Amino acid sequence: MSDDRPIVQVQGVSFAYSPDRPDVLRDVSWSFPAAAVTALLGPNGSGKTTLLNVILGWLKPRKGVVRLDSAAKEGSAPERRGRRIGLVPQDEALAFELELLEFVLLGRAPFLGLLDRPGEEDRLAAAAAIEAMGLTVLSARPVNALSAGERQLAAIARALAQDPAVLLLDEPLSHLDLGNTRRLLHVLESLRRIGKTIILTTHDPNIAAVLADEAVLLKEGRVLAGGPAAEVMTATLLAETYGVPVDVRMIDGRPIILPRL
């Protein structure tokens, strides 16, 4: 449960990929509470992934500011951000042939010096993350030899090994089958219980309905609506966000969102 303290604050952020292109984010402001799951929802091109990369610091906003722990991100040391924030991208090209354990150990890089090698504590953290994602039997397998779903779980394990305070996940369920989706939802729920902050993007509002404390609806780079997920994920607001009529039905006290034919 959120303690209502904002751990990440986005204030008046606008971003464009080049000066001659239109803004992808337009005056976005939102405070992300600590120890909570916030889902960013919206259609393709609404700015969800861009917002994650601005929060991480990979992209610099044209205007506005991102604050981490009430401090402007620009004023915080990169190594501190590297320890406090972890990212799981939607897709990732691997330049090196790494075994799964070596890949997950990359998550410990923010805690190591330039020429340091991972120690026992790092290996234990990596092994625990691999086990949490159900990949222990694959520890010695090359990551490039894994299925798309297994690679997605490996990327999440790498982020878990980092043990960040804030975990950013870009469409984390996109390559997972039903069993691994259930596993990941359990892992994310356990992280929330121990006080981690999770910000995830998803095309599927049903994922947000299952997991999220808060939902932020993005459309054309702007925040259309945001707040407690149960209050935001209405048929009217979701239809406006996605541009198609939807039905919201309650099953066992949980909303299920269906496109209206």
The CATH number of whichever domain residue 203 belongs to comes to 3.40.50.300
| % the chain with pLDDT above 70 | 92
Place of tokens 């808060």: 214
* Range of the structural domain that residue 188 is part of: 6-95+164-259
Residue 106 domain-assigned? no
Residue 25 domain-assigned? yes
Residue 133 domain-assigned? no
At 188-197, the pLDDT tens digits run: 999 999 999 9
DSSP string, 77-121: -HHHHHHHEEEE-S----SS--BHHHHHHGGGGGGS-TT----HH
CA distances (Å), 62 to each of 17, 75, 218, 219, in order? Answer: 9, 17, 18, 19
Residue 78 domain-assigned? yes
Contact between 233 and 257 (Cβ < 8 Å): yes
- Judged by DSSP in three states, 232 sits in helix
Residue 239 domain-assigned? yes
DSSP string, 126-159: HHHHHHHTT-GGGTTSBGGGS-HHHHHHHHHHHH
Residue 137 neighbours by CB under 8 Å, 6+ apart? none
Query: How many structural domains compose the chain?
Result: 1
Q: How does pLDDT run along the chain (261 residues), one tens digit per residue? A: 445 678 999 999 999 999 889 999 999 999 999 999 999 999 999 999 999 999 998 999 999 999 987 655 554 555 566 678 999 998 777 757 899 999 999 998 888 777 778 889 999 999 999 999 999 999 999 998 998 889 899 999 999 999 999 999 999 988 888 998 888 898 999 999 999 999 999 988 998 988 899 999 999 999 999 999 989 999 999 999 999 999 998 887 778 898 887
Interatomic CA distance for residues 148 and 100, integer angstroms: 13
Residue 253 domain-assigned? yes
Place of tokens 């090698």: 117
